[in-house]
Chain A
Amino acid sequence: MKNENLYKYILGIADNSLILGQRLGELTGHGPSLETDIACTNMSLDLFGQVRSYYQYAAKIAGDNRTEDDIAMLRKEREYVNVLLVEQPNTNFAYTMARQFLFDVYHLLFLQELQKSKDLTLSAIANKSIKEVSYHLRFSSDWIKRLGDGTEVSHQKMQDAIDGLWTYTDELFHQTEADIAMVSEVIGVDVTKLKEAYYNKVNAVLEESTLQIPESKWFQKGGKKGIHTEHLGYLLSDLQYMQRAYPNMEW
């Protein structure tokens, strides 16, 4: 592939949206209220919309016959390069919202930079996605506050979720080889530079929500290299089921 770094770079962005969208899609019809149900489904829909734009572009760059669906559904476990954070399960609504919030803060900062990319397609996708992700962040931040500063029960559950997911935040700022190559071409975003703004924002919301900022300095990594938690395999079994069970068909 002529433009392999760009291809890999796009997957690095899009896989996060794919896996998070899939997780949110599991919740449709099972939310704690009709309003949250609609909102989570809507965020899933936004993310899959973004995924389609990214993968269609990636397929074009690959220049063979592969399609957006091949990229989304026919890779092996080790070929998905999403961060570990987004594949974590919907343990309860606190986990779902904490996962969303911890990703949204990053996602928005990332898109604001990607918008400046020299690559016009990526910049256009970023531009469109920013509106959606700004809403996601508003929604998830509001729920961090409601649950953090709600009842004793909700406070404890939200604190547990933040504590449980904190270990996956640092990976957001790790650079891959494709990242480094794309940054040097002014196409990609230097994620290391987002770290300070990220933790400032996250900490501010946690404080406002009367939540403790976790002190642990132990972080997990591996997603960006395709080494995932055990949760991903099951998620992929669902995601890929039809394409695997009925290969080479159109739907």
Chain B
Amino acid sequence: MSEEQIKNLETQFEARIARDEKIEPKDWMPEKYRKTHIRQMSQHAHSEIVGMLPEGNWITRAPSLRRKVALLAKVQDEAGHGLYLYSACETLGVSREELYEQLHSGKAKYSSIFNYPTVTWADMGAVGWLVDGAAIINQVPLCNTSYGPYARAMVRVCKEESFHQRQGYEIMIKLANGTPEQKELAQDALNRWWWPSLMMLGPTDAESIHTEQSMKWKLKRKSNDDLRQQFIDQTVPQAELIGLTIPDADLKWNEERQSYDFGEINWDEFWQVVKGHGPMNKERMKARVGAWEEGEWVRDAAMAYAEKKQERKQKQAI
């Protein structure tokens, strides 16, 4: 294909996106579009899978049967999200095994928030309320993103995330209205998860390297800072409603902006965790790599069995 032909295709492609048309797997697309989508969707898939670990940590110790069932269902949903996001990546010609390899080798990233430990039951509330809350803010705009399989996956993901956020907040309501000891658990969890949740919405716009191109492809519709502000404005009243205090001395309603002003985020901590030195980075990867390696003989057996079965079927057909 000549350079001019490619240029033509690119112009048509950008025009389709501008018209809000969906790009489907078999459509022509620029290589950079394909790569960017693989990167973002796989990062999202990895986050779902690694995200199962901090919550899975409390399944065996959930305080009631009702909570246990809800938590199991939630973590199972996360696995389901991972499954269809990996499948969406496969439509762009990359296998799940390759993506796992990137995760395990540290080449691919996942959401840094999952590198914090879930130390008490109240963390199940805080994670659902704040982490899933921030995730929804990030993800709702993606329901209209340009790549069809991703957009469709996100519609379902967002519906389930919204249920998760409610179940997290409900845990917090119960704790906040419980005994002093329970309320303390809730406040402590909020103290620990608040700042990492704000960081979860990504570096400030000045430092975000992917924003401009992603905006054009509708992979992103609002900047990180706008999303963060939206999250804060939405969450502060929810905390007030149940009598919990946001751990930020500088948090103040700004009448003029009709938004909250907030304190300085510790970006050093953010980069420390992103670069692999958070409290749980090593444990999370050890768990994922361990599950994968220990599962190898199982996957090999399944393949061998499927092949044998196929052979037998062919023999019967002859």
Interface residues of A (CB under 8 A from B): 22, 25-26, 28-38, 41-42, 44-45, 48-49, 51-52, 55, 68-69, 72-73, 92-93, 145-147, 149-151, 153-154, 157, 235, 238-239, 241-243, 246, 249-251
Contact = CB atoms under 8 A, between A and B. Distances in A.
A150 B62 contact: no
Interface in B33-72: 49, 52-53, 56, 59-69, 72
A48 B75 contact: no
A22 B60 contact: yes
B72 A44 contact: yes
Contacts of A25: 59-60, 68, 72
A154 B171 CA distance: 42
A251 B121 CA distance: 10
Contact of A38 (B76, B174, B179): B76
A154 B300 contact: yes
B181 interface: yes
B64 A48 contact: no
Interface in B276-318: 287, 290-292, 294-306, 308
A139 to B, nearest CB: 13
A146 B297 contact: no
A151 B300 contact: yes
Contact of B69 (A45, A73, A145): A45
Contacts of A146: 301-302, 305-306
B56 A45 contact: no
Given A68-B65, A149-B305, A239-B61, A41 B298 contact: no
A150 B59 contact: no
Contacts of A73: 64
B174 A250 contact: yes
B73 interface: yes
Contacts of B147: none
Contacts of A246: 63, 179, 181-182
A30 B297 contact: no
B141 interface: no
Given A33-B295, A150-B300, A153-B297, 18 more contacts: A31-B291, A32-B294, A32-B296, A34-B83, A34-B86, A45-B73, A52-B66, A92-B294, A146-B306, A149-B308, A151-B300, A151-B304, A153-B301, A154-B304, A242-B62, A249-B182, A251-B64, A251-B66
Closest 7 CB pairs of A and B: A32-B295, A150-B301, A154-B301, A242-B63, A29-B56, A32-B298, A29-B52
Contacts of A22: 60
Contacts of B304: 150-151, 154
B69 A93 contact: no
Contacts, number: 142
A41 B63 CA distance: 18
Interface residues of B, number: 50
Q: Counting chain A CB atoms within 10 Å of each CB, which of B171, B174, B294, B295 scores highest?
A: B295
A241 B52 CA distance: 21
Contact of B65 (A33, A37, A42, A48): A48
**Chief secondary structure at chain A's binding surface:** helix
B114 to A, nearest CB: 11
Given A239-B61, A249-B182, A34 B79 contact: yes
A28 B299 contact: no
B69 to A, nearest CB: 5
A55 B75 contact: no
Nearest to A246: B181
B300 A34 contact: no
Contacts of A29: 49, 52-53, 56, 75, 79, 287, 291
A105 to B, nearest CB: 20
B305 A48 contact: no
A37 B298 CA distance: 13
A25 B59 CA distance: 6
A68 B96 CA distance: 42
B174 A28 contact: no
Nearest to B284: A29
B63 A243 contact: yes
Contacts of B59: 25-26, 28, 44
A157 B306 CA distance: 18
A55 B306 CA distance: 41
Nearest to B291: A30
A101 to B, nearest CB: 15
B121 A242 contact: yes
Contacts of A48: 65, 68-69, 72
B119 to A, nearest CB: 13
29 contacts: A25-B68, A29-B287, A30-B291, A31-B291, A37-B79, A38-B76, A38-B79, A41-B72, A48-B65, A55-B65, A68-B65, A73-B64, A93-B295, A146-B305, A150-B300, A150-B301, A150-B302, A153-B297, A153-B301, A154-B298, A238-B61, A246-B179, A246-B181, A249-B63, A249-B178, A249-B182, A250-B174, A250-B178, A251-B67
